[in-house]
Structure 1
Amino acid sequence: MGTIKLTHLTFGFDKQLTLLFDDANLTIDSTWKLGLVGRNGRGKTTLLQLLLGNYPYQGTIQFPLRPVYFPATIADHEQLTYYALSEVADFELWALEREMNLIQLDPQVLWQPYQTLSGGEQTKILLALLFTQADFFPLIDEPTNHLDIQGRQHVADYLQRKDGFIVVSHDRQFLNQVTDHTLAIEKSQLVLYQGNFATYEEQKALRDEFELAQNQKIKKEVGRLKKTAAEKAEWSRSRETDKYGKPSEKGSGGVFDTGAIGARAARTMKRSKNIENRMYDQIGAKEGLLKDLEDVDRLTMNYHESRHGQLLKVENLSLSYPEQPPLFVPLSFELDRGKITALTGPNGIGKSSVLHYLLGTFAGEANGELLRPRIKISYVRQNYENNHGTLQDFAEENQLDYSAFLNNLQKLGMERNVFQNRIEEMSMGQRKKVELAKSLAQTAELYIWDEPLNYLDVFNQKQLEELLLSIKPTMLLVEHDQTFLKNIQAEKISLNRTVW
């Protein structure tokens, strides 16, 4: 197919103090199935946008193919899906239906309003649209977001049949299935690995282990140098004092030897300074060795345990849209204090709709009974595009403790220089962190989180696991990552489809 070549690529956003890419060089074979990984905010999506030619940069990018980006932007969500897609790209209906069948998506969704499709259905339809286009190179950004377990496997099977592409994802299992090369954007460099995410993790762990061993070795050396420097400095000061000692002490540092002693003291001070300089060189070397090790801090949560033993009781709940059958079999469940409960089920069955119903924002028809005491609820939304403005304005608007809000953002890996950016200028991962940090800073007795892991890297996922296990808040969530649900010891409630 061709070769993608980056030469001396340098780029950074105007408001950022550090460059995302500084004189980067990279060669990619377009037949590779390349996984693009790295912490949020390191520039994964930005690199895709640079390949698309959407940002000015220094250096050169040779891209002999036509890049196409996923997900495409849908302008009018109220239109029927077919017409909404027609405004994005030219395609033949038969070709789109073929791709929909391959990704196991019912072609009938084409004749539903786009906004009524679940997040997983929207992901699948946009992937199907992507692969109807000829003579292109796919740049795929987070295709597993909003997909259930089965949907993720469908997409993995689908991409395994395709030729070369670049895919960004934080789903390790998914990357292991679909990629044969991995490009990691680390703190200081681009590192290319021949192999999938598991290969990258193994080799990165070995490199980190070596760097940590070097760190311990250098720390010991630095400690020795500091001690030696302090001893030499103290000795030189004592010899300088001897220049003005007792006159009777001739030939041993007395007044008649002040010139000689002063020269010796000066030489000693010079040697001490040289030792000190070497010490700082060693410290610099240590910092260089550790530049790609990640620090992960513990998050905080403003959870207030409710005096109520039971915070939710739902009996025979049924939800539907006008002239549509119920989304699921009538649902009953209880949520007790200190329990984490997950709603599970396939995409489109109505998990998010249940959350909207509990929050009083469901737009369809509801039947059943809800018992809930008056409690404070914090909500992490699946869609948060209307977050905007500066972080300070956002905190004031949502009545957040500004320092706690920023503290969690920093712990989630957001760089301090990003704090000055407007939210709408941030990457999707950074914007998700804003939504999550907002919830963590809010005083709440019940947390309702809708797919909290979307766009979050592996480090963030582990932070949330540790936080929820230590705090044990009352929580109802929708999440498709089964490893995460197992690790936080979530109790599962399954929604089942109605049969008509």
Structure 2
Amino acid sequence: MSKIEIKNLSFGYDGQAKPLFAGANFILDSQWKLGLVGRNGRGKTTLLRLLQGQLPYQGTIQQQQQFSYFPQPISDKSQLTVDVLAEISTAQQWQLEREMSQLGLAADLLWRPFNTLSGGEQTKVLLTVLFIEDGVFPLIDEPTNHLDLAGRQQVAAYLQQKRQGFIVVSHDRHFLNEVTDHTLAIEKNQISSYQGNFAVYEAQKQRSDTSEQAQNSQLKKDIGRLKQTAAEKAKWSQAREGDKYGDPHKKGSGAVYDTGFIGARAARTMKRSKHLAQRMATEIDDKEKLLKNIEQIEPLTMAFQPSHQQRLLTVTDLQLSYAQQPLFQPLSFELQQGQRVALVGPNGAGKSTIVHQLLGQFSGQVSGTIQRPQHLQISYVHQDYEDNHGTLSDFAKLQKLDYQAFLNNLHKLGMPRAVFNTRIELMSMGQRKKVELAKSLSLPAELYIWDEPLNYLDVFNQEQLEQLLLMVQPTMLLIEHDQTFIEHVATKIVSLK
């Protein structure tokens, strides 16, 4: 058992208005199965890089660990998988096969080119090398992004049975609850550690926020009262200063004979007023610094336009095939006005392919039917949004978006206004995902089709979307592997077999 001790850690990227970390102090135990959580942009991946000594910083990081990191950089994805793993690990083949079997992977995947594996298979293959070498502490950054529900359950079971500790970053709440026993939260103004999984953290954070909200409410009242009193004193002092000159509009004001007395009194009053104003400014500043750690999660907007049609989709005995090989058994379901149907099934089962057929983009063999109203307005969140490019302004014009609503939703999703001038192709993956999502929210539509909308989004964004969908009750076809999200928002689940 060893400790990772961080003392007075400060770090910020060039050009940032404020540092990511300023004098941070915390201690981690290498035996913990630690979930690292926090909003996008708070520095979760940066902290993992700091632990590995990849970035310069102020303060000290005391640790005796050798770290292994996921996802590992791959120089040539066209190599055989066994050669890819040999580049990033000294593991023996029998060790790799042992770990692969625990993750439900066939050993013959080692002899296939890495780039022919599915995203889920690549994720699980790369995870196998993290726990093989003794004395290595795994840092696991977003392992669930390309995993289906079954894959997430396999990886969760795999991590549960490991005796050694690790740090894992994930926005899948159910996954974190399954695999972690401690939580480190990078919050708005502090870094806090909790004994327990994400559910424990969330409950304790809610109690803390409730207490802080009451304190903040009183502080805001105090600040308002202080500001009003300071303004009144300054106004009264200025009025007294004017007394020594008399009121030129009033006859016989008598101000001339007592100018000295009034002037001296006004000067004393002005001095006291300035001292009081300075004292109040200091008190206001001190109180405003106490308004701290509550996350502001603003409600999103959605341009949903209910259809006059009650039934928007009727799928009857649908089967899609490539080269005469069916992707799934014949499928039938209906989508009624106000329903949110979740399509679930393993990676490769054909969920996205059904969407492609619905949008007229499938080139394989089709049997069965999909019936839908003519001229149905659809808003679509793509799983792959690499084609989004250019400035936000040009993108909004191309997509025929309400530009102000588009920007408002982007800001509410947590994108800093400073990023608004960045070209989309130069943004981070999380920021690009928010562009795709804000686009869909801003498009007037009768039916929303969202293909894995939660990838790269933090827990707070997920809660924003949950609240929005439960409030607006749009008609939706949803593909998502996050079990908690599906349980909260779906009104109907359709499984592909």
Q: Report the TM-score, using the length of structure 2 for normalisation.
A: 0.85
Question: In the alignment, what sits opposite 1:467?
Answer: 468
1:106-137 deviation line (CA, Å, top 9, x unaligned): 44655667666554444333323433455532
What is the DSSP-based 3-state SS (H/G/I as helix, E as strand, rest coil) of the residue aligned with 2:320? strand
The answer as to whether partners of 2:219 and 2:288 remain within 8 angstroms in 1 is: no
Deviation at 1:161, TM superposition (A): 2.3
Q: 1:217 to 1:474 in 2, by over 3 A?
A: closer
The CA deviation string for residues 425-483 of structure 1, in whole angstroms up to 9 with x for no partner, is: 54443332222112223343322111212232222122112222333322111123344
Q: In the alignment, which residue of structure 1 is the partner of 2:43?
A: 43
Q: Distance in 2 between matches of 1:343 and 1:363?
A: 21
Q: Residue by residue, what CA displacement relative to the aligned partner does 1:382-421 show, whole Å, maximum 9, x if unpaired?
A: 3335545554454455444443222111101122233344
- Deviations 1:332-351, CA, capped at 9 Å, x for gaps: 22223433211123444332
What's the CA shift for 1:152?
3.0
1:353 maps to what in 2? 353
Instruction: Tell me which amino acid in the other structure corresponds to 1:67.
Output: F
Cα shift at 1:102? 1.7
Task: Give 2:343's aligned residue.
Answer: 343
SS in 2 for 1:214: helix
SS, match of residue 218 in structure 2: helix
Percentage identity across paired residues of the two chains: 62
Aligned twin of 1:218: 219
Letter in 2 for 1:329: Q
* 1:279 match: 280
Matched letter for residue 229 of structure 1: A
Of residues 274-283 and 75-84 in structure 1, the stretch that sits farther from structure 2 once superposed is 75-84
Question: Deviation of residue 39 (structure 1)?
Answer: 0.7
Partner residue of 1:92?
Answer: 92
State the alpha-carbon separation in 2 of the partners of residues 365 and 82 from structure 1: 35
Cα–Cα, structure 1 residues 156 and 212, in superposed 2: closer, same or farther, change >3 Å? same
SS at match of 2:143: coil
**Separation of aligned partners in 2, 1:154 and 1:214:** 44
Structure 1 alignment gaps of length 5 or more: 247-251
- CA gap of 1:212–1:273, structure 2 versus 1, over 3 A, is farther
CA deviation profile, 1:14-42 (whole Å, cap 9, x unmatched): 34333222343444332222211111111
Q: Is the 1:232–1:269 contact (alpha carbons within 8 Å) kept by the matching residues of 2?
A: no
For the structure 1 residues 365 and 449, does the alpha-carbon distance in structure 2 shift closer, same or farther, using more than 3 Å as the test? same
Opposite residue 495 of structure 2, the aligned amino acid is S
Q: State the AA in 1 paired with 2:456.
A: Y
Q: Are 2:381 and 1:380 aligned?
A: yes
Q: What is the SS of the residue equivalent to 1:319?
A: strand
User: 2:173·2:484 contact (CA, 8 Å) conserved in 1?
Assistant: no
Three-state SS of the structure 2 residue aligned to 1:41 is: coil
Rounded to whole Å, the distance in 2 between the matches of 1:91 and 1:468 is 47
Structure 2 stretches lacking a partner, 5+ long:
248-252
SS at match of 2:380: strand
Tell me the residue number matched to 2:156: 156
Q: Tell me how far apart the structure 2 counterparts of residues 409 and 241 of structure 1 sit (CA, whole Å).
A: 51
CA–CA distance in structure 1, aligned partners of residues 7 and 227 of structure 2: 43
Query: Would the alpha carbon gap of residues 229 and 58 (structure 1) be closer, same or farther in structure 2, given more than 3 Å must change?
Result: closer
| 8 Å CA contact retained: 1:15, 1:417 | no
Deviates more, 1:235-244 or 1:91-100: 235-244
Q: Which residue does the alignment assign to 1:312? A: 313
Report if the CA contact (8 A) 2:35-2:167 is conserved: yes
Q: How does 1:3-152 map to 2 (within 5 A)?
A: 3-59=3-59, 61-62=61-62, 64-73=64-73, 89=89, 91-107=91-107, 119-133=119-133, 135-152=135-152
Tell me how far 1:313 sits from its aligned partner. Answer: 2.7
Whether the 8 Å CA contact 2:174–2:483 is kept in 1: the answer is no
Give the conservation status (yes or no) of the 8 Å contact 1:225–1:276. Answer: no
- Rate the CA distance shift 1:10–1:226 in 2: closer, same or farther, 3 A: closer
Distance 2:115 2:493 in 1: 27
Q: Hey, what's the Cα distance between the residues in 2 that align with 1:364 and 1:51?
A: 48
- In structure 2, the CA distance between the partners of 1:397 and 1:463, relative to structure 1 (3 Å rule), is same
CA 1:173/1:339 → structure 2, altered by over 3 Å: closer, same or farther?
closer
Question: Which range is displaced more, 98-107 or 463-472?
Answer: 98-107
Instruction: Name the stretch that deviates more: 122-131 or 111-120.
Output: 111-120
Offset at 1:331? Answer: 0.6
Partner residue in 1 for 2:442: 441
Q: How does 1:233-312 map to 2 (within 5 A)?
A: 233-244=234-245, 255-312=256-313
Is the contact between residue 342 and residue 490 of structure 2 (CA under 8 Å) also seen in structure 1?
no
* Deviation readout 1:223-242 (Å, 9 max, x if unpaired): 33344334434443443444
Give, in angstroms, the shift of residue 81 of structure 1.
Answer: 5.4
Match of 1:453 in 2: 454
Change (3 A) 1:281 1:209: farther
Paired with 1:354 and 1:106, the residues of 2 have a C-alpha distance of 28
Question: For this pair of structures, how many residues does the alignment match?
Answer: 491
What is the CA–CA distance in structure 2 between the aligned matches of 1:131 and 1:397, rounded to whole Å?
Answer: 48
8 Å Cα contact 2:183-2:197 kept in structure 1: yes
CA change 1:191–1:235 in 2 (3 A) is same
Question: Following the alignment from structure 1 to structure 2, what is the Cα–Cα distance between the partners of residues 238 and 88?
Answer: 77
Q: Distance in 1 between matches of 2:254 and 2:205?
A: 58
Change (3 A) 1:54 1:435: farther
User: What's the CA shift for 1:329?
Assistant: 1.4
Aligned residue runs from structure 1 range 382-461, under 5 A:
382-385=383-386, 387-388=388-389, 390-396=391-397, 398-461=399-462
Q: Are the equivalent residues in 1 in contact too, given 2:35–2:182 (CA < 8 A)?
A: yes
Tell me if structure 1 keeps the 8 A contact 2:344–2:496. Answer: yes
Q: How far off its partner does 1:105 sit?
A: 3.8
- Letter in structure 1 aligned against 2:343: L
Contact 1:32–1:165 at 8 Å: present in 2 too? yes
1:130 aligned counterpart, secondary structure: coil
Q: Any idea what SS the aligned residue of 1:278 has?
A: helix
Partner of 1:174: 175
The answer as to whether partners of 2:4 and 2:27 remain within 8 angstroms in 1 is yes
CA contact (8 A) 2:317 2:332 kept: yes
Secondary structure of the 2:267 match is: helix
* Closer/same/farther in 2, CA of residues 111 and 19 from structure 1, 3 Å limit: same
Q: Distance in 1 between matches of 2:268 and 2:94?
A: 87
Change in CA separation of 1:169 and 1:353 when aligned onto 2, cut-off 3 Å? same
Contact 1:356 1:362 (C-alpha < 8 Å) held by counterparts: yes
The answer on whether the counterparts of 2:171 and 2:458 sit within 8 Å (CA) in structure 1 is yes
What is the distance in 2 between the residues matched to 1:117 and 1:318?
24
Q: Cα RMSD between the aligned structures?
A: 3.4
Q: Mean alpha-carbon deviation: is it higher for 274-283 or for 410-419?
A: 274-283
The Cα of 1:179 is off from its aligned counterpart by: 2.1
| Contact 1:244-1:258 within 8 A present in 2 as well | yes
